[in-house]
Every structure is written in C-alpha cells, then in structure tokens.
Structure 1
C-alpha cells in the first residue's frame, strides 16, 4: 500500500475542492439549466437546494473522509462494516461513469478553443457543432482531454492536484469577472439580466415540481456530491481544519462561479435573440451553438471565444481531476499499484467507457445522443441514490462519530451538531427522496420512448 498523501496547506484543499465543484456543471450546464427552466425561477430553487441540501450533504461526506483517512469504499467499510462499503463503491462508480462522458465534452471544449482562434464556426455555428460533436475527431479529443487529466493526477495530491487547482481556480474566477464586466456593456443585455435575476414567483409556482429535480441534480453535480470526491479530498485533511468553515467557503465560491457564468452567458445571448428564444435553449450543445452564434456576430469574437472556452477548459479539467482521483485513491490503497500506473490504466478505462458518447450522433436514446443517456442516468439516479446513502449512514448510523468529527478544528462541542444531524434525517433526506422519485419518473418516460420501436417489432 502506498504512503498516504496530504494537502500542503488548507488553502490547497479549499481550492482543490472548489476546483472539483467548479466545472462544466457550473459553466456548461448551469446557465442553460437556468435559461430553459424559467431563469430566476430556477436560480431560486437552485440556491435553496445548495444551502439546504447540498451544504449539509457536503459536510456528511467530509466527516466520513476525514474521520477514516480512507478512500470512499474503505471509509464506509471502516465506519459501518462491510455491507456499507456499497455506498462508497457507488460513489466511486458514479465518478467513473460521469468522467467517461464529461471527458467527451472536455474534448469539444478543446475543439472550440481552436475553432474560435480560426473563426471556423462563424459561418455556420449549428453545422460546426454537428460536425465535431461525434465521430473520430470527437474520439481523438476525448483521448487528449483524458491524457491531460491522467497527467495531473499521476503527479500526486500536492504536486499535481493541489498545484494545478491553485492555478486553475483563480484563473477561472478572474476571467469570468472580466467577461461578465464586458457583457454588462453590451446593448440589449438588460433583458437577459431581467430574465436571469428578477424574481418570477408565478413561473416558480407553475413549474416547481419540474424544476426541483433539475435544480437539486445541478446542486449535486456542481458540488461534486455523490461521486466520492469530497470523501476522498477530505481524507487528506488534518484535524485542525474546520469542516463547516471550509465547506461554507467551498459552497460559496462554487455558487459564485455558477452565478458569474450566468451573468456572462445569458446577457450575451440576450444581445442576439429574444428572451423567449433563450428559454428554448437546451441540450448538450446549447452552450456551444448559442455562444458560437453570439461570438460570430460580436466585435473581437475570435478573442472572446478563445477566452471563454479557455475558462471552460480550466473548469472541466479541475473537476475531471477530482473524479479520476476518486478511482485512483481506491486502487492505490487496495493494491500494490503506484499512483502513475493506476492513473494511466484507469484513465484508459474511463476513455473506453466514454467511446459511445463520442459517437453519440449514431447511438440514440429517446431521440437524443448517447451522451444524454449517460447524463440523465447520472443526474436522475446515480447521484441522488449515492447522496441518500451518505445521509442515511451519517445521520442515523454514525451520528455520534459525525458530531464529534464535525466540531474538530472549532470551538464548538459535539452537541452543536444536533441541528445538522436532524436536518439530514428529515428535510435533506426527504428532499433527496422526492428528487429521486421525480428523476426516476423522467427516466421511465424516456425508457418507454426508447422501447416503443422495439415493442413495435
């Protein structure tokens, strides 16, 4: 078994965890989840989900990781016995599953950086995306992206993950602020701000139950919950770190980046199309096609495209690194493998699992690409089931250990964690159960559509 690694500084852990959370989910999906689900109505539900569900669940994952100093599978086995290791195993599998299609989208981002510099998509943004989204080129760039991720993870916790995220995360924030300031100067941006930021209670009331699973799934995805990432990262922490403070900083910074991304994307779109057209944006290619159309018509569009998709690449890498680390941490602690061969072999395995999504145009699911199937399975089933397992385990089975662990590094006593424990047992768990029920309903509807041609035969 390899020697256990640690973070060199508390700031290194916070930035790495923020980097895990601040990824494609924030900059690729969040603006368009908001755009297609009522704008401010989605934002309100999402913010509530982050604070009332995401933050308590993140602390639950933290206490499991730090109290055991183990990977997710071994952490749950040590605290709850062999049968509970399935909760950790589900987190590792979920990370593996998500990274397989996440990497394909990361390859698209690389292609769009090159395409922006050349102005390649300016003439036909929709046709350009259709040409690059699947096929041999998508497969090759999927491989390039995974090679970058493997390279960082192979260097280790301090020299690879911590050093990389210390550079990536501040760069993401600075570039988004710059893009947001520029978007503020555009004619027509006001309509985008109004749609995105003005409370719309009527839309919220009318669409609450359809928006809820999307908002909660988005919160889980952007906070890297249910993937074993926060268990793994917290396992490298010392007892003098305050989990509530660090968790609050991570949630706050992650939410800020998501909101900043919305302040960039939606106003830019509003300068080119109506609010109703923004409302119709959805799907895996929305961010690429819609923003490509905008950059094609804006002054200095090539430069802006390179900057925006450069930010997107940094965000994608910072999250992908954490997902592969979940798998590599488990392998290095339970075999004689060193970090470098483990990163290489399981990076290759992730690449192979992602091949169907690299050819998603020809592999369809309910009328959409295979990537949508991978994504829906993660959002609607894997993530909520994994998070619910953590909540039940920490809130009911090991609440005593959790209460003590949560207050380490603080001046509070174990009794101060009572409200958190009861929140996990009641409101948070109930919200996840409702989200899971609604998500499974969506999956069953899609499965029925998928099965109709087969039944017809």
Structure 2
C-alpha cells in the first residue's frame, strides 16, 4: 500500500476541518431548521448540543482516525470484532446520501451567483411578476425554476465536477491548498455581510426572533426540538458521517486533538451564529409580519427567495457576495465528504486517487438526480440523514469508544498533551453515559419523526404522482 498522505501543517488540518463544518449546514440548513424550530428556542437547544455533546463526540472521531490511519470502514474493522467490524458502513452510507443532495443544493447557490452576474436579481425576479399570486411572490417562482429541472441538473453536474477535481489532486495539493484560500476568505466576507444586514429595516425584528428565546416554547416542543437540534449539531460539525475520522487519519501523533477539536468547534459555532445575524434580518425584511412569522412557502428555499427579493432593492454586488460565499462554503464541505468515500475506495479496494474520485463522484451524482426532479426527494434524503443516520452513527461510535476500546482511546487522546490527568477519565465517562443516553433518546425521537414524514408528506406525494 502506498504511504498515507498527511497534512503539511496544523493550520491546514484545522482549516480543512473548519471548512468541512462550515458549509451548507451553517448557511443554508441552519437558518431553515432554526426557523422551523421557532428561532431562538431552537438556537438555545442547538448551542447546548454543540458544547455538551459536540466536543466529546468530535474527539471520539479524532481518536479513531489517528489511531488507525484509515477510513471509518477500515478503522472499525481493525479496532473492532464481531458486529463492530461492520459499523463503518453506516458512515459510508451517511456520507453518500448527504453528498448526493448537498451537491444539488450547492448547485442552486452557484446558479444564483450566475443569475446575479448575467441578468441581475431585479430583472430575474421581475420575469415572474405576472405569474405570482396571492400566496406567492415572484422570488419564490424564480427559486422553483432553479431548484428543479434542467438548471438544477446542470449545476449539480458542475458542482460535482469541481469537487471531484479538487479531491483528485490529493490532500496537500488539492484539499489543503483549497481550504487555506477558501476558509479565511469566507470568514472575511461573512463579517462584511453581517455589517450590511445590520442596516436592513428588518434587522431588529430579525435579531429578536433569533436571539430572544421563549422558554415555554422549548418546554412545549422539546420532542421535536431535541432531534432537530442534535441532527443540526452533528450535520454542521460533520460528525456522524465519518469525515472527521478521515481527516484525523492524516494527523501526526504530536498534535493535541482536544485543543484542535476545541478550535474547530469554536470557529464553526461562531460562524453559525454570524450567519444567523445575516440571514434573519434579510428574512424579516423580506417578510415583515407583526407576529414574526416567516411566510415563505418552502423553508428549503427561504434563503434563496429572501436574498433574491432583498437584492431587488440594493446593488446586485451584495447578492453576488452572499451566493458566492455560500458556494465556496459548500465546496469546502463537499470535498471533505467526497474525500471519505475516496479514502474508502483507496484503502479498502486499492484504487488510485483519481479513478477513485471519478467513481465516487459519479455515483454520488447519480443518487442526487431525483432531487433535481422534485424537492420531496431532498426532504426524503435530508430527514433520513439528519434524524436517523447521523445520530445512529454517532451513537454507535460513542458506545464503541466508551465501552469497547476505552484504554486505546485514552492512550490516543493523551498523545501531544503534556499531562492529560483526570480530564481524560472525565471525557471517557462523558462518552460512556451522558452521550449514549442523549443520543439514544434523540435517535428514537428522530425515527418517530422520519416515520411520520414517510407516512405523511411522502405518502401524499406518492399518491398524487404514481
């Protein structure tokens, strides 16, 4: 087997992990699941998950990756026995499903960026003025035209080709080089957009909706808030899909995994909060309502509709910046997910990197094609990945690390640390009991929610279309 690649610098690893975490999960998915969860009520539960569950969970993936220098399938096979040898395939399926629709959504952002360059948002939205009715606005019709059909397939293709190209170049020349440019640029542009969003008419309403939690709403809706917040936390940190196992497999033994994990989570959470300070002023400006309700027909398309609608009143360059930023963020995450699938093909089946990237990317592209036909397939894939697969993968991994290989895990996490002391034992016990209990409850609630979707909205779609 060829010598395994490594990160050239610690900064490269941290930026790659941050880039994986800071993608559509933060900029597209976070606003719409936050709005579905009631705004600040969801935000509070989400932040609790990030800090109480996310940090110990990211260390779980780091120790597995660095210990084995393998992808999740190979890592679990090497460290485990019996049924544990096959747990890595859960991560493989999760990554495959997520990237299939992730690429489609990323393609929408690329398309909106190009619309700003070629037509301008005012003219593009204006084309639908005569078709909008009482229940829609022209910007929603523009989103409908982009989200499905030929446009959607073409930009799904374009995005996957760029992702394949970067991954095919390797860890140092492809992934690390790309994220060293993309992630700092992303942060600077987001700060600029947040400053602009503060000047919008709906800024104060947006901040109140986003930052002032209603504790009675948390108490009343905890059964839906819990799985939604957990799924979003794992989605945005790229946990439960094996990405962090792969990235950690390229890390040297002199690195302090706990310190790096804390930096990654801190950056990711700060950027998620920053995105909310951009998105909710835009949403509440586009849909002013005395009750603070978000009135868009589709939460999936809310950010596209709101930004395009807002851009009809301001210079197009702001829309170009926004959609361009999100496209860059999406690319940084997509390359991390594809890298896992490629690493699996290389480690387990002896593929060279470039053929592996083409095979993996082509297969992911094919699975995503139904999403370009109807958005119900995006909901089908996203709810399954978010409510079931991500949490299932995380639960199995924390059980494995906490109860099956605790000594090996402690040994690994102590490398690169002067004296881990009692902190290591505290981490193991946090993994063994609180994480297992919370993830088990969250998985049960998520399965109930997903079954409800299958027997409700998806069953209705099947009845209407077949």
Identify the TM-score tier after normalising by the shorter chain: over 0.9
Q: 1:271 aligns with which of 263, 277, 285?
A: 285
Q: Is the 8 A contact 1:77 1:83 kept in 2?
A: no
Relative to the length of structure 2, the TM-score reads 0.92
Q: What is the match of residue 299 of structure 1? A: 314
Q: Say which SS state the counterpart of residue 419 (structure 2) adopts.
A: coil
106-115 or 277-286, larger mean C-alpha shift: 277-286
Compute the displacement of 1:206 (Å). 2.3
Alpha-carbon distance between aligned partners in 1 of 2:341 and 2:184, rounded to the nearest angstrom: 26
- Corresponding residue SS for 1:122: helix
Aligned to 1:226: 240
Q: How far apart are 1:2 and its partner, in Å?
A: 3.0
Deviation of the 1:253 alpha carbon: 0.3
What is the DSSP-based 3-state SS (H/G/I as helix, E as strand, rest coil) of the residue aligned with 1:239?
coil
Q: Distance in 2 between matches of 1:250 and 1:386?
A: 20
Q: Partners in 1 of 2:172 and 2:353 — Cα distance?
A: 13
Aligned: 1:429 with 2:424: no
Aligned to 1:366: none
CA shift for structure 1 position 291: 1.9
Matched, 1:406 2:413: yes
> Does structure 1 retain, via aligned residues, the 8 Å contact 2:287–2:294?
no
- 2:174 is matched with 160
Counting only pairs closer than 5 Å after superposition, residues 282-293 of structure 1 correspond to structure 2 as: 283-293=299-309
Match of 1:8 in 2: 8
Q: C-alpha distance in 1, partners of 2:158/2:286?
A: 33
2:186 aligned counterpart, secondary structure:
helix
| 2:87 aligned counterpart, secondary structure | helix
Aligned partner of 2:71 in structure 1 is 71
Cα distance in 2 for partners of 1:153, 1:414 equals 39
Quote how far apart the aligned CAs of 1:203 are: 2.3
Which residue is 1:22 aligned to? 22
Question: SS at the partner of 2:299?
Answer: coil
Structure 1 residues 453 and 158: alpha-carbon distance in aligned structure 2, compared to 1, 3 A threshold: closer
Query: How far did 1:230 drift?
Result: 0.3
Distance in 2, matches of 1:17 and 1:253, equals: 10
Shift of 1:139: 0.9
2:416 is paired with a residue whose SS is coil
2:399 and 2:426 map into 1 onto residues whose CA distance is: 15
The aligned counterpart of 2:386 is 379
User: Which position in structure 2 is the counterpart of 1:170?
Assistant: 184
Equivalence for 1:86: 86
Assess if the C-alpha contact under 8 Å between 2:65 and 2:244 holds in 1: yes
Instruction: Answer yes or no: is the 8 Å Cα contact 2:100–2:365 preserved in 1.
Output: yes
Q: Quote the residue 1:313 is aligned against.
A: 327
What SS does the corresponding residue of 1:240 show, helix, strand or coil? coil
Aligned partner (choices 370, 392, 396) of residue 403 of structure 2: 396
Q: Secondary structure at the match of 1:354?
A: helix
Cα distance in 1, alignment partners of residues 423 and 105 from structure 2: 43
Aligned counterpart for 1:341 among listed residues 355, 365, 369: 355
- Give the Å deviation of 1:121: 3.2
2:20–2:334: 8 Å Cα contact kept in structure 1? yes
Structure 1 residue 415: deviation in Å?
A: 4.5
Residues 369-378 or 77-86, more deviating: 77-86
- Give the whole-Å Cα distance in 2 for the aligned partners of 1:274 and 1:437: 37
Structure 1 contact 26–257 (Cα < 8 Å) conserved: yes
User: Greater shift after overlay, 370-379 or 116-125?
Assistant: 116-125
Unaligned runs of 5+ in 1: 362-368
**2:355 aligned with 1:352, yes or no?**
no
- Are 1:420 and 2:427 counterparts? yes
**Structure 2: how far apart are the matches of 1:192 and 1:311?**
21
Instruction: Give ranges in structure 2 of 5+ residues lacking alignment.
Output: 127-137
- The equivalent of 1:440 in structure 2 is 447
Match of 2:154 among 121, 137, 140: 140
- For 1:277 and 1:139, the matched residues in 2 are separated by 35
Match status 1:210 vs 2:220: no
The answer as to whether partners of 1:2 and 1:332 remain within 8 angstroms in 2 is no
Preserved contact between residue 57 and residue 394 of structure 2 (Cα < 8 Å):
yes
Q: Distance in 1 between matches of 2:160 and 2:420?
A: 44
**Structure 1 residue 455: Cα displacement:** 9.0
TM-score in terms of structure 1 length: 0.94
Q: 1:199 to 1:453 in 2, by over 3 A?
A: closer
Size of the aligned set, in residue pairs, is 448
**Match for residue 193 of structure 1?**
207
User: Matches of 1:179 and 1:164 in 2, distance apart?
Assistant: 22
Q: Distance in 2 between matches of 1:176 and 1:405?
A: 36
**Worse-matched range after superposition: 202-211 or 332-341:** 202-211
Please tell me whether the aligned partners of residues 22 and 268 of structure 2 are also in contact (alpha carbons under 8 angstroms).
Answer: yes
State the alpha-carbon separation in 2 of the partners of residues 153 and 27 from structure 1.
Answer: 23
